[in-house]
Amino acid sequence: MSLAQTKETDVSKRLAEMKVSQSGWSAPARKEAYDRLMKMGMPQRRDEYWKYTRPDTLTSGEAIPAAVQKDSEGPIFDELDSHKLVFVDGVYSETLSDGLSLTGAVLELLSTTEEVDIHWAKSLYGSLEKNGQTPVARPLAAFNSAFAEEGILLHVKETLSKPISLHYIHGSETSDVILHHVIKVDAGARATILESGAVAARCNTVIEAEIEQGGQLNHIRAQGRDHERRAVTHVFAQLEEHSQFKSFTLTMNGVLTRNETVIDMRGDDSIAHVAGASVGDGDFHHDDTVFITHDALRGESRQVFKKVLRNGATGVFQGKILVKPGAQKTDGYQISQSLLLDDDSQFLAKPELEIYADDVACSHGSTSGAIDEEALFYLRSRGVAADEATNLLTLAFLSEALSEVENEDIAELINARLEGWLKRRR
Amino acid sequence: MLEIKNLCVSLEEEDKQILKGVNLTVEAGKVHAIMGPNGSGKSTLSYVLSGRDGYEVTDGSASLLGEDILDKEPEERAAAGLFLAFQYPVEIPGVGNMTFLRTAVNAQRKARGEEEMSATDFLKEVRSKAKDLKIDADMLKRPVNVGFSGGEKKRNEILQMAMLEPKMCILDETDSGLDVDAMKLVAEGVNALRSQNRGFLVITHYQRLLDHIKPDVVHIMADGRIVKTGGPELALEVENNGYADILAEVA
């Protein structure tokens, strides 16, 4: 038996051993997702969409153990006034959380509503993921819909007074976690969701977010610092008229991260911004895969991704803007850039535009480069030491992505973490 | 203050000698000007003194207040009191001008073992000094030199100089790209910094900057050497007759 076959069998064995829940409101959606997955098959290395990132450790029968690291800085968003929900290895912790009662929204857990037959999330669960399977298959998201163990079901009815902060604690070295969140933002309502922490040795998370007319959802994520953790995440957002979705992800460390964002701009005048800042050294592979579909008038989308790579780290960007026929006056912007701090690191980028409307403005750019020597000398000639000057220029490089974070307090917290990361690596 | 002895410098990349034995002493409280035709080595001198990569010192020495500077890192030279106002100030997107100034001021203080400047004191000082140079709040907030006009960039150099309070200031063609009004403003900024404890080396092509920043000593540089030294009248001679006469005279 060849190695490839061994791995295939390993994956099949994993699937055969897992059971799709047969009861409750989500059962039909789970069954459908499972069937979708069987049809697509798990991602393989030969798949075009996985050309730059090896999926095997994400699909394998068991998660590769990952050491739990002590986080000397503490949870990043703890200083903010937020409604905190804590998950330890994917299990909701009642004692560490602020509870499920919230003004202006219905907040429930996937695990505790399982037995109910009728639920508002029934029409959403798995359906945005399903829509996101064309034109490109995302089997790990279907896998998630079929087998998710926990997640929040959040129905935002009014503008929330403070962010909801999901904090994920990585507790066990062998934890393998599947989380699936469903969020519905009613017309005109606004909410901010924060995510932080290393989650597990391996995690697969999905967020499905439906944003009704004029609604706004902000999503800020700080993926935990554990060096050995692996993560595959999907965010599916569906935007109705005049709605807005803004998502920012900070990634520091982690041996493997694949973040997919799939946005369906189906309502006129909607706005979608997706941004990311990632920093990694050594055994660090970070993949941002974004697919934005403009399917309505006057949509505005922005993708801003910046990566700082050193000591052999790898960064991947696959970003696509698809402008469907009739999606006139689309304004699309996409930039992906890497700062390579040495010769061993690499950045692999695949920016794509596919446009079927004639009155649109779309721009995209992708660059890789080193620290600007002129700027470095300028700073040093003013007395700033070489290390500090390099860090200053590195933060400057990341600033375009960071400026996508509108809340200044949050932006400052993220900047402080980046500063800390750079200082630890002097 | 600044003592340069027989300084010989080649380019690292190619075997080309640029400076061929420069001798120059700038005393505290004095303003020296260096004039000279294109390619005479004026800018190279300023870069070598401030520690830019790409040059190899093959002979000679340069010291600031008796201490050799050529083996020091650029940031160490800055902390020792050397300042170069760039001919082409560098744009640094993503770094706010204010952050830049504060980082520089505190880095130098730290290197000298002094206490860092408090945020309030810093703000007060930078605002007052910026006002003198007609630098508005917006320019302080914007990224370093990004979107600045030629004149704004040069004024920003002088602001940095005013904040860092160096002992020895080198101005590399600070007049290039400036209109008459901007040049006056820059010159006023420089003149305000003239003091008994500070030396200046003003590198320029033209006499006109020296109408505003009156030099004590004028040197003519050609082919990597100082070929003639005199008083302010030497600059006027260049203005009237060009370099050809002087060069013919010393040849």
pLDDT in tens, A408-418: 999 999 999 99
Binary contact (B52, A377; C-beta < 8 A): yes
Best of A339, A382, A403 to disrupt the B interface (most B CBs within 10 Å) is A382
Categorize the per-residue pLDDT at A115 as very low, low, confident or very high, splitting at 50, 70 and 90: confident
In three-state secondary structure terms, B143 is: strand
Give residue B70's identity as a one-letter amino acid code.
L
CB of A426 within 8 Å of a chain B CB? The answer is no
CB of A382 within 8 Å of a chain B CB? The answer is yes
Q: B150 versus A165: which is more confidently predicted?
A: A165
Average pLDDT for chain B = 91
Average pLDDT for chain A = 94
> Is the predicted pLDDT of residue A5 greater than 70, yes or no?
no
Whole-number percent of chain A with pLDDT over 90: 88
User: What's the confidence (pLDDT) of residue B249?
Assistant: 77
ipTM computed for the complex: 0.95
Residues near A73 by beta carbon (within 8 Å), at least 6 away in sequence: A225, A417, A420
Tokens of B200: 């200046």
User: What's the confidence (pLDDT) of residue A2?
Assistant: 45
How many CB pairs (< 8 A) connect A and B?
A: 81
Binary contact (B73, A395; C-beta < 8 A): no
Burial of A7 (0-12, 13-18, 19+ CB in 10 A): middle
Min Cα–Cα distance to chain A from B92, Å = 6
Q: What would the mean pLDDT of A200-228 be, rounded to a whole number?
A: 96
Strands (E) in A7-161, as ranges, are: 83-88, 91-93, 105-109, 152-156
A386 CB neighbours in chain B (<8 A) are 73, 75
Residues near A294 by beta carbon (within 8 Å), at least 6 away in sequence: A265, A301, A321, A322, A323, A324, A327, A330, A332, A357, A360
B141 CB neighbours in chain A (<8 A) are none
> Is the predicted pLDDT of residue B127 greater than 80, yes or no?
yes
User: What's the confidence (pLDDT) of residue A3?
Assistant: 45
Strands (E) in B129-209, as ranges, are: 143-144, 168-172, 199-204
Q: How many residues are present in chain A?
A: 426
> Is the predicted pLDDT of residue A404 greater than 90, yes or no?
yes
What residues form DSSP beta bridges with A339? A308, A369
Q: What is the pLDDT of residues A284-301, one digit of tens each?
A: 999 999 999 999 999 999
Tokens of A32: 């459908």
Taking a C-beta distance cutoff of 8 angstroms, is the pair A153, A110 a contact? yes
Taking a C-beta distance cutoff of 8 angstroms, is the pair A168, A192 a contact? no
Categorize the per-residue pLDDT at A7 as very low, low, confident or very high, splitting at 50, 70 and 90: low
**Partner residue opposite A396 with nearest CB, options B83, B92, B164:** B92
d(CA A401, CA B196): 48
In three-state secondary structure terms, B231 is: coil
Tokens of B49: 């003194």
Q: What would the mean pLDDT of A366-392 be, rounded to a whole number?
A: 95
Q: What is the pLDDT of residues A144-163, one digit of tens each?
A: 999 999 999 999 999 999 99
> Which residue from B115, B106, B123, B111 is spatially nearest to B164, judged by alpha carbons?
B106
Binary contact (A383, B79; C-beta < 8 A): yes
d(CA A35, CA A30): 9
User: What's the confidence (pLDDT) of residue B133?
Assistant: 84
Categorize the per-residue pLDDT at A224 as very low, low, confident or very high, splitting at 50, 70 and 90: confident
Taking a C-beta distance cutoff of 8 angstroms, is the pair B30, B200 a contact? yes
d(CA B212, CA A159): 62
Best of B55, B73, B75, B165 to disrupt the A interface (most A CBs within 10 Å) is B75
User: What's the confidence (pLDDT) of residue B247?
Assistant: 80
d(CA A184, CA A349): 33
In three-state secondary structure terms, A283 is: coil
Binary contact (A380, B51; C-beta < 8 A): yes
CA distances from A171 to A227, A283, B2 (A): 14, 22, 62
A392 CB neighbours in chain B (<8 A) are 95, 99-100, 103
B83 CB neighbours in chain A (<8 A) are 381
Location of structure tokens 């600033």? A399
User: What's the confidence (pLDDT) of residue A376?
Assistant: 96
Binary contact (A382, B143; C-beta < 8 A): no
Q: What is the pLDDT of residues A174-212, one digit of tens each?
A: 999 999 999 999 999 999 999 999 999 999 999 999 999
Q: What would the mean pLDDT of A344-355 be, rounded to a whole number?
A: 96
> Is the predicted pLDDT of residue A71 greater than 90, yes or no?
no
A:359-378 residues touching chain B, CB 8 A cutoff = 372-375, 377-378
Q: What is the pLDDT of residues A256-274, one digit of tens each?
A: 999 999 999 999 999 999 9
Please report, for chain B, how many H helices and E strands are present, in that order: 10, 12
CA distances from B117 to A187, B97, B125, B136 (A): 50, 17, 10, 22
Question: Sign (positive/negative) of CA torsion A64, A67, A73, A77?
Answer: positive
Binary contact (A383, B111; C-beta < 8 A): yes
Location of structure tokens 């700062």? A339
Binary contact (A396, B84; C-beta < 8 A): no
User: What's the confidence (pLDDT) of residue A194?
Assistant: 98
d(CA A315, CA A347): 5
CA distances from B172 to A413, B47, B80, B89 (A): 40, 9, 19, 10
d(CA A160, CA A306): 30
> Is the predicted pLDDT of residue A98 greater than 80, yes or no?
yes
User: What's the confidence (pLDDT) of residue A83?
Assistant: 98
A377 CB neighbours in chain B (<8 A) are 52-53, 74, 90
User: What's the confidence (pLDDT) of residue A38?
Assistant: 92
Report which DSSP code applies to A150.
B
Min Cα–Cα distance to chain A from B101, Å = 9
Opening angle at CA A382, ends A376 and A383, nearest 5: 95
Whole-number percent of chain B with pLDDT over 90: 64
> Is the predicted pLDDT of residue A403 greater than 50, yes or no?
yes
HSE-CB for B149 with a 13 A CA cutoff: 7
CB of A385 within 8 Å of a chain B CB? The answer is yes
Q: What is the pLDDT of residues B66-85, one digit of tens each?
A: 999 999 999 999 999 999 99
> Is the predicted pLDDT of residue A278 greater than 50, yes or no?
yes
Categorize the per-residue pLDDT at B189 as very low, low, confident or very high, splitting at 50, 70 and 90: confident
User: What's the confidence (pLDDT) of residue A1?
Assistant: 41
A383 CB neighbours in chain B (<8 A) are 75, 78-79, 104-105, 107-108, 111, 164
d(CA B139, CA A296): 40
Binary contact (A384, B93; C-beta < 8 A): no
